[in-house]
Amino acid sequence: MKPDRILVIGLNWIGDAIMSMPALQACRDENPEAHIVLLVKPYLKPLWEMHAVPDEIYGLDKTLPTIAKLRAGKFGKACILPNSFRSAFLPAMAGIPRRIGLRGELRTLMLSQTIPLSSGHQSNEYYPILAPLHADKPHAPPRLDIPETTFQSLEKKLPDCGSYIVLMPGAARGASKKWPIAHFETLAQRLIAETNFSIVFAGGAADAPACEELAGRMGEQAASVAGKTGLQEWAALLQRSSLAIANDSGGMHLAAAVGTPVVGIYGMTDPEKTGPLSDQCIVVKSSYIQNRDIARNSEEACNALESIPPESVYEAALKLLK
């Protein structure tokens, strides 16, 4: 008898993808013999290549080629994690008989089973779709396995800076999630002056100019690798660091997933919904208004972040370093 073939349509952001990993791990526990295929945007393939569950990873292509590939895959079930029209459209057009996902206008008719939105942390949302028998059980944290060759390639890009702390001042969602750069500068200067750690600034290509400028102001005890590392090298950098300090961002979740202590800085986004999946984290926040969906350039959110003093983040960092 052939094993079940399960398609999982993955989420589009690093942080969201990592928050779905515990449920996917539980899916494997419930379906130990199944052949599980993950469909994701190509830039996320390196992330999922570090995860043990997927047997195959498909890169999301244009609509018609993707439908053809899914039809050829002969899947019995599709677990649809994004709450978008296209994510439900693709498996429906591919003729996959069972299609499970969150309720939503326009897409409900394309699903064979609709799931209501779960309460609590965002990671809870994926259990009824992927692993319903585990929905009410204790949830394991995300697990990533970084290839040894990745650490070797990282060493060629990272200056010899001894023990270090990673600072990540970026956030893909824009200014509403970014603690002011001036605050990151004040924090970095104090960490260098009062601890035995060097500072490494990290992030994507969009973060590189700010990170390079910050590192230049810090002198020899700081460096920037923002925009210079692949996703797996970024994970390796974080795993070898003593601490990560980040906005509510994919980098924050990546640090938690590789087991690094992390300070997460929150303005108006809600750590009860999107906090790091780790018991080695401290969340620093200032606003009593917590909103999962805020505008990218919300002035109120920016003000909330600006009101968090570097002193508060520094004190949280010392607690985790001890």
> Which residue carries 């997933």 as its tokens?
257
What phi and psi, each to the nearest 5 degrees, are found at residue 10? -85, 170
We report the CATH number of the domain holding residue 210 as 3.40.50.2000
Residue 162's pLDDT band (boundaries 50, 70, 90)?
Answer: confident
> Which residue carries 């400028």 as its tokens?
213
Q: Are residues 43 and 155 in the same domain?
A: no
The pLDDT > 90 percentage for the chain reads: 82
Give residue 294's pLDDT.
Answer: 76
Give residue 66's pLDDT.
Answer: 98
Q: Are residues 84 and 221 in the same domain?
A: no
Domain end marker among 134, 167, 193: 134
d(CA 185, CA 189): 6
What phi and psi, each to the nearest 5 degrees, are found at residue 306? -60, -30
pLDDT in tens, 262-280: 999 999 889 999 999 999 9
pTM here is 0.94
Q: Which residue has the higher pLDDT, 107 or 165?
A: 165
pLDDT at 291 over 90: no
Q: Are residues 47 and 167 in the same domain?
A: no
> Which residue carries 């990272």 as its tokens?
158
Q: Are residues 118 and 19 in the same domain?
A: yes
Q: Are residues 216 and 91 in the same domain?
A: no
d(CA 40, CA 240): 27
Is 141 a domain residue? no
Q: Are residues 91 and 178 in the same domain?
A: no
Give residue 77's pLDDT.
Answer: 97
Query: What residues make up the domain containing 226?
Result: 149-321
pLDDT in tens, 91-129: 999 999 999 999 887 888 999 999 998 889 999 999 999
Concatenating the DSSP letter of every residue in 228-255 gives: TS-HHHHHHHHHTSSEEEEESSHHHHHH
pLDDT in tens, 191-250: 999 999 999 999 999 999 999 999 999 989 999 999 999 999 999 999 999 999 999 999
Is 20 a domain residue? yes
The number of distinct structural domains making up the chain is 2
What phi and psi, each to the nearest 5 degrees, are found at residue 31? -135, 65
Q: Are residues 224 and 129 in the same domain?
A: no
Domain end marker among 74, 99, 134: 134
Is 199 a domain residue? yes
Q: Are residues 98 and 234 in the same domain?
A: no
pLDDT in tens, 140-155: 999 999 999 999 999 9
pLDDT in tens, 2-59: 679 999 999 999 999 999 999 999 999 999 999 999 999 999 999 999 999 999 999 9
d(CA 48, CA 234): 14
Q: Are residues 39 and 101 in the same domain?
A: yes
Quickly list H helices, 111-178.
127-130, 148-157
Give residue 2's pLDDT.
Answer: 63
Is 86 a domain residue? yes
Is 75 a domain residue? yes
